[in-house]
A and B are shown apart, each in its own frame.
Chain A
Amino acid sequence: MEESVRNIRQSFEEDIKNATDAGLLESIRVKYLGRKGLISELMGHLPSLDKEKRPRLGRELNLLKRHIQRELQRKQQLLPSGRELEGEKIDITMPGILPEEGHLHVITKTLNEINDIFVSLGFQIAEGPEIEKEFYNFEALNIPLEHPSRDAFDTFYITDDILLRSHTSTVQIRIMEKIKPPIQAIMPGRVYRPDAVDASHSFMFHQVEGLMVDRGIKFSDLKGILNLFTKRMFGEKTKTRFRPSFFPFTEPSAEVDISCIICKGKGCRVCSHTGWLEILGAGMVNPVIFEAVGYSPRKYTGLAFGMGVERIAMLKYGIDDIRLFFENDIRFLKQF
């Protein structure tokens, strides 16, 4: 009987040495400590032993059992656990679970970019109503009733003299009526024109208007500011060109073109092979406007400009259809 205990101890020492993984360890546990294991088998023999021998052997068996338990536990901790082994087996090529992220609309993004550039140049941001008196949309801007210069401004009407503004220039007048110079502000907002919708027309779009009124504001300032703007918006290499044009509320007036960002000025489909893209209307505030709002045209001069946000976003991000902005296809929204 003592012999058996010794043998078990020996064979266990041997087995535990060779146990290299959790599976083997488990079979060792079953072999020695299992319900039908070697230890319980010997325990089963105990009652048949001599009364003197029984306690001693019982103690020894218990010690052995505890020893085996301890050793198994110790070994278990040394080996990587079964759960961990399982974890090692994940397929790392399965796709990662992306955190949910939201996106600002590309128009908001573009507007923010435009605003930030002008804010950094000292412009403040102002807003005006979309439902506007006809006066602010036309007469106050030197666009007389029934004049061909109105052709560019087809307009949605609500009543005979209330309309949806067709440009943000209305806010210029509202600001000038409210405060005295100096003024340095940009005015972003929605405008509406009854245009049939197609790839390049929308009956609603966004504009940003700019106005600066002070003593000694010059046309060269207009050029300087807008040149800075286009470079920051479209990249340092962008060239800007000012072409004489006509707007009733500015004099002299200019259309501002940038070198085509697609072909870098070589000529392509986007720029109709001219190498230039029209992005802004601008000019010096017509003194007639100052008179109408009660500013002295002798004292003050001003510069003004206006741009279409959709147009700028289309050029900057290579978007070829204005309808995409308002369809809000989630696959479109998530790209920006």
Chain B
Amino acid sequence: MKVSYNWLKEYVDVRIDPKKLAYFLTMAGINVTSCRNVGGDYIFEFEITANRPDCLGIIGIAREVACILGKKLKPPKELQKNPQPPPTPRLRRAGAARSREPSLDIELEDPELCFRYTARIIRNVEVRPSPDWLKEKIISVGLRPVNNIVDITNFVLFETGQPMHAFDLDKIKGSISVRRGIKGEKIITIDNVPRTCNPDMLVIADASGPIAIGGVMGGLKAEVNNMTKNILLESAFFNPISIRRTSRALGLSSESSYRFERRINNDMVAKASNRGACLIETIAEGEIGPLIDIGKKAIYSKTINFDLGKANKILGVCIAKGEAAKILKTLGFSVKAQRTSMKVTVPGFRGDVKNDIDLTEELARIYGYEKIPLTIPRITGNIRIKDFTSLLEEKMSQALTRLGLNEIITYGLISKNSIKGLGIREDEIVVIKNPLSIGQEIMRPTLLPGCLNVISYNFNRKARHLSLFEMGKVYKEKKNSYIEEPVLSIGLAGIRRENWKNQMQEFTFFDIKGVFEKLLEEIGITHIVFKKSEIGGFNKDIVSTVENRGRVIACFGEVDKKICERFDIEKKVFYGELYIGNLLERVKLDKRYTPISRYPSIRRDISVILDKNVASSEVTNIIKEIGKTLVKEVSLVDYYKGKQIPEGKRGLLYRIEFRSDEKTLKDAEVNCLHSEIKKALSEKLNISFR
């Protein structure tokens, strides 16, 4: 809300530097976002929190200023006392004239949506441009002057926070009813937009239909213009929830609806009407009629037993009783000091204050948050600092960055199209009801689209080498319950290393396999089996699952070319997911020292030629089986294809490390074992040696 400094000065005697005032207000919770010098004035821009509708009027701000600076608030006299319609001499004359005019009946049909409705007939107004002082004020709050009547209603709204509306009385047909809209009923609002009403909305209607959407916007039909002679001035208290619903349903927010939504002060309804009427009388020479006032007149009021000792304890300060009482009084509360506590009565305009903690805040914000000391509480002493999943995720992230992978973070919401062809069950997908774009239709059931988007994004920007991982959740719906599972994804694409010595070597399946092997070793998952299997989204020949004691804990492979194409990626992408939830209880993060053997090891190479359909793992399994505890390690050191190798075969070179934990092995023993291994290999796998 915009507030002019000059206007503010009319209600409180303030002379300080406006920038300083802005600071004081901000530090009291009335946040000033800017303070600009405009001509001979300063314009403050306020950001008023939802709990303070009283500060949506300049008098409310003036009250805060008065309290902060220790000044007195000077509201205009019409607003000070509850008005009995002022029988001005002119009004008495108008009253005489009124008997000849048709009277206006108003019926409040729906007291649920409209708590109170007041209206007043003002006759013989002169509609014309406002005087300069009024125009300036209207401009200062950011509005455009229209005519004296409309400007006065806006003036009162910004002064008091109570919205007003003026109808052209002569355009109203028959009596007025304040009722719910009828389905399909039409109204053109003063912004010239046709709108359709429904029974959730409150309308002000005459015999011909709605003439205003109550509390939101008036209709064109009964709008005040230069030809208007007689007006009906409305001031009401509409149901905040109903206003909010209507405003949302119509996508129409106005200065009025903004204030009604936040609940206006019932005490101001009649007072503001009186203020408006008096201004119209002065400026537009109207003749004021009596106030028609229907509905609830009760004003919010609450008496709170306020325990200052408790408030001081919660704040960690020591505010004296006298000071506390003074602060509350200048804010408009009435305070009665008792022996141990204070009896505080809340004024009508502070409907947000309901209990002692609310009063504590009032006290604290005026006393000054700055004056509250800094203390450190006693630590409660928790033992378990992190849950196991976070700990594991942290460990894995560390391991992966050591292996040269870069962490990415992608959105939890993705498009439905991006999971096409991945073999994901339709009924398990979590769908968003109100996405802003097609990129946010569903919650991701896999991290693959996110990873592919990142790869595509980077390739498009000339990146050549991408090794990425993401630690995130995937989301599924199962039997009406929602599951969030932690998953690790790994993506490798492009060339393996980028420097002048190692060029153009692209990532292969074995690079991603290596990452998984290393990672699983790091978290103590042993006994893993790689199994070829068909998984949606992968090249069916280059994909593997990882099993650990009968449970699938991961899968990885080359992403299907067609999927890559959909993400505009031409290069091969190797991708894998580790299902963290499936291995939690099998993880071993504790490391134990293994004694380093005191005995030397002996290495023997074994060069085999095997059929293409014999798996390397079969060879190593046999070597380990025969070698028992003496074979410490079997590693593949070379791989041959080509002329020397017969068609349909391949050549592999393994290096075996023999060692005993009890003694130094003799050459002869190793030779013997080595031949046994060879024999077993040739017998069981039909392997020949080179």
Contact = CB atoms under 8 A, between A and B. Distances in A.
Q: Do the two chains bind?
A: yes
Interface of A: 94-95, 97-105, 107-108, 112, 119, 121-127, 129-131, 146-149, 151-152, 156-159, 162, 164, 182-185, 190, 192, 194-196, 203-204, 212, 214, 216-221, 223-225, 227-228, 241-246, 251-255, 272, 284, 286-287, 301, 303, 325-331, 333-334
B360 interface: yes
B27 interface: yes
B28 interface: yes
Contacts of B369: 223, 242-244, 254
B384 interface: yes
A12 B384 CA distance: 84
Interface residues of B, number: 90
B494 to A, nearest CB: 10
Given A131-B484, A246-B50, A252 B499 contact: no
B628 interface: no
Contact of A126 (B245, B313, B387, B461): B387
**A-side interface mostly:** mixed
Contacts of A216: 313, 377
A228 B377 CA distance: 12
A219 B29 contact: no
Contacts of B376: 121, 221, 224-225, 228
A117 to B, nearest CB: 13
Given A124-B385, A221-B375, A243 B409 contact: no
B109 to A, nearest CB: 22
Contacts of B473: 130
B401 A103 contact: yes
Given A125-B385, A242-B370, 17 more contacts: A129-B482, A156-B440, A158-B431, A159-B433, A164-B432, A218-B315, A220-B315, A220-B375, A221-B376, A224-B373, A224-B376, A228-B376, A243-B29, A246-B51, A246-B52, A328-B410, A334-B406
Interface in B382-401: 382, 384-387, 390, 394, 397, 400-401
Given A97-B499, A108-B397, A130-B484, A326 B411 contact: yes
Contacts of B49: 245-246
Given A192-B413, A218-B314, A98 B364 contact: no
A131 B482 contact: yes
B313 A102 contact: no
Contacts of B431: 158
B111 interface: no
Contacts of A121: 376, 379
A136 to B, nearest CB: 13
B364 A219 contact: yes
Residue from B27, B377, B433 whose CB has the most chain A CB atoms within 10 Å:
B377
11 contacts: A98-B499, A101-B401, A102-B467, A124-B386, A148-B262, A156-B433, A218-B315, A221-B316, A246-B49, A251-B360, A329-B457
Residue from A182, A221, A252 whose CB has the most chain B CB atoms within 10 Å:
A252
Contact of B409 (A158, A184, A326): A326
A214 B380 contact: yes
Given A122-B379, A159-B433, A325 B457 contact: no
Nearest to B377: A221
Contact of A124 (B382, B408, B458): B382
B51 A149 contact: yes
Contacts of A95: 499-500
A105 B408 contact: yes
Nearest to A212: B377
Contacts of A204: 411-413
Residue from B27, B314, B463 whose CB has the most chain A CB atoms within 10 Å:
B314
B404 A100 contact: yes
A243 B31 contact: yes
Nearest to B28: A244
B674 interface: no
A301 B501 contact: no
Given A194-B434, A251-B357, A127 B390 contact: yes
B206 interface: no
Contacts of A183: 380
B361 A252 contact: yes
B591 interface: no
Interface in B518-533: none
Interface in B441-492: 443, 454, 457-458, 461, 463, 466-468, 471, 473, 475, 482, 484
A156 B50 contact: no
Contacts of B499: 95, 97-98
A105 B475 contact: no
Interface in B202-226: none
B412 to A, nearest CB: 6
Given A100-B404, A252-B360, A124 B384 contact: yes
B361 A244 contact: yes
A320 B360 CA distance: 39
Contacts of A129: 482, 484
A253 B31 CA distance: 13
Q: Which 8 A-B pairs have the closest CB atoms?
A: A220-B316, A244-B29, A100-B404, A102-B401, A122-B379, A246-B49, A252-B361, A182-B380
A155 B475 CA distance: 18
Nearest to B442: A158
A303 B502 CA distance: 56
B433 A158 contact: yes
B387 A125 contact: yes
A58 B290 CA distance: 150
